[in-house]
Chain A
Amino acid sequence: MKKILLTVFLFMLFSAKTPAHPHVWIETSLDLLVENKKITAINVKWVYDEFYSSAAFFESDIDGNNVISPEENLKFLDRTYEELKKNNFFTYLKLNKTQLSGFEIKNFDARFKDEILTVSFTILVTEPVDPAGKEFTASFYDKTYFIEIYFQENNPVSFQKTESCKHKLYEDMTETYYYGMVNPETIKVICE
């Protein structure tokens, strides 16, 4: 009994690593555009969880008629874009472990379908990256860990215009956030 209690206690002590504190969830999938063996763009699709989506829906529905009009959607789009821009779209791209800051966001869209919010955008890599022989990684995370951004389980990454690339999904142990307690899920692109 004494051993069990001490084991449980030690487990609790070290369970601060448990990544279970988010309040908002986003399921991510990526579609990478590879032209002339270089990554030129990443299409990102985020599907938000139900509670956040509903809260966002009701806040956007200014006239309260349960329908988001094009004007309401435009306002919502602007606000969401500005909010995400402040956080650099929670996007972390790295080439050989060095952060890439040169990217711009295009085709930003945010819409509700059956009250579920989907945000999509394209990351245009300013200087196209040749991933062969290099380590190109992409991760999306909110440092405050209010939001858990995780990759879709079945088909998190697809590639356009290439068949020689594949991806590896892993938890980047060299990167931590939320007081060092959480490691981001990361996609590594491997091309021949």
Chain B
Amino acid sequence: MKRLFVAIAAFTGLILLTAVFLALNASYFSKHEGFKSISKNPAITYIKKDVIAKNWSRVVKTQKNLSSQIWKNLKKADSDKFLFYFLISLGLSFIYGIIHSLGPGHGKMIVMSYFLSEKSKPWDAPVMGFQIAGVHIASAIILVLLVNVSLRQALSGSVDKLYWIKIISYALITLVGFVLLAKKIFEKKLKEKMINLNRGILAVAAGIIPCTGALLVLLFTMANNAMVMGIFLVIAIGLGIMTTLSAVGIITMSAKKAASRETFFTKGKNISVALEYLGACMIISLGLIMLTLTVTG
């Protein structure tokens, strides 16, 4: 019964946290508008973005520039210095993967919520990162190699099919969230196989939508009769994604450990339990939100 109350409290806390965040966000942007004018030319109001907006823009620009550089190096790879340009492209693809996965997407949130919810070892983070990135990249390779997807299908035509994949994957995320929460409430210890299965389901659900960046690289290399090169490049992108997700997992575990330390004011164990409830609730919320948004369009 006590644990049920904790679960309800965690849910309420999550909603409050979201409300506070949204309120702070709204008030911040209403004051700052995110931008300031710096132009002396009366014909142009050139707007300078503030620090946050500017940094996010930089991330987007960096991603675009990296994509551009990979393309240019791949073009040059069709020369005597093939190995040199190919290796540069591989390195750039790896960095592209790291930066690409810093952006919005539910993969990061799932990793964070999962490692908040579960007692894990540091090694579990790269394993989950590998699973998500692997599924994300493999689905792109399968789509191009087996289904022979075209550019238009990759970007628009297959949306109807993706709809059901999304519905299933978000439903699975919600389900696993409930399993993790029930486990906490009823103090059940799951067998290692069941723990791995839960993590595996979450990883597949998070990564199943194919990486469009990988699709474009594969389509480009396929058109240039260099499919094998393309597969190496998307594997490098996948390793980059895995690196970011692993880092997210390890930081979450470390933050949870740090927050759970006993202090004069707080009981470490209680905080740890509260965070575990919060993590499970976050997975449920995330699954339900994504499911609702997908259904309602």
CB-based nearest B residue for A9:
B255
CB-based nearest A residue for B70:
A51
In the complex, chain B residues whose CB is within 8 Å of the CB of A54: 71, 220, 223
A59 touches B220 (CB 8 A): no
Instruction: Pick from A2, A16, A23 the residue with the most CB of B within 10 Å.
Output: A23
B151 touches A173 (CB 8 A): no
B255 touches A20 (CB 8 A): no
Contact check: which of A50, A166, A169 meets B67 at CB < 8 Å? A50
CB-based nearest A residue for B156:
A83
Distance, CA A126 to CA B268, complexed state (A) = 65
Contact check: which of B42, B46, B57, B64 meets A25 at CB < 8 Å? B64
CB distance from B200 to the nearest CB of A (A): 23
Q: Mark A163-182, 1 if CB is under 8 A from B, else 0.
A: 10011111101000011011
CB-based nearest A residue for B290:
A179
Does A90 sit within 8 A of B, measured CB to CB? no
Does B216 sit within 8 A of A, measured CB to CB? yes
A169 touches B60 (CB 8 A): no
B104 touches A168 (CB 8 A): no
Given contacts A58-B219, A179-B293, contact A50 B72 (CB under 8 A): yes
CB distance from B239 to the nearest CB of A (A): 18
CB distance from A72 to the nearest CB of B (A): 14
Contact check: which of A24, A148, A167, A171 meets B35 at CB < 8 Å? A171
Distance, CA A181 to CA B56, complexed state (A) = 12
What's the A-B contact tally at a CB cutoff of 8 Å? 144
Does B128 sit within 8 A of A, measured CB to CB? no
Contact check: which of A5, A15, A50, A171 meets B102 at CB < 8 Å? A15
Does A74 sit within 8 A of B, measured CB to CB? no
In the complex, chain A residues whose CB is within 8 Å of the CB of B67: 25, 49-51
Given contacts A59-B152, A169-B45, contact A21 B71 (CB under 8 A): no
CB-based nearest B residue for A6:
B255
Given contacts A2-B261, A12-B112, contact A59 B104 (CB under 8 A): no
A146 touches B33 (CB 8 A): no
A51 touches B44 (CB 8 A): no
Does B79 sit within 8 A of A, measured CB to CB? no
A148 touches B64 (CB 8 A): yes
CB-based nearest A residue for B157:
A83
B216 touches A23 (CB 8 A): yes
B102 touches A168 (CB 8 A): no
CB distance from B50 to the nearest CB of A (A): 10
Distance, CA A21 to CA B109, complexed state (A) = 14
Does B252 sit within 8 A of A, measured CB to CB? yes
CB-based nearest A residue for B111:
A12
Contact check: which of B37, B63, B155 meets A20 at CB < 8 Å? B63
A17 touches B56 (CB 8 A): yes
In the complex, chain A residues whose CB is within 8 Å of the CB of B47: 168-170
- 29 residue pairs of the A-B complex, CB under 8 angstroms, read A5-B251, A5-B255, A8-B251, A12-B252, A17-B25, A17-B104, A18-B104, A19-B56, A19-B103, A19-B104, A20-B99, A22-B60, A22-B63, A23-B211, A23-B215, A24-B216, A25-B64, A50-B72, A51-B220, A54-B223, A56-B151, A58-B219, A59-B151, A148-B60, A163-B43, A166-B42, A167-B44, A170-B35, A179-B293
Given contacts A50-B72, A55-B151, A171-B53, 18 further A-B contacts (CB under 8 A): A6-B259, A12-B248, A16-B108, A17-B104, A18-B59, A20-B59, A49-B64, A51-B216, A146-B155, A150-B60, A167-B44, A168-B45, A169-B46, A170-B33, A170-B47, A171-B34, A178-B104, A179-B104
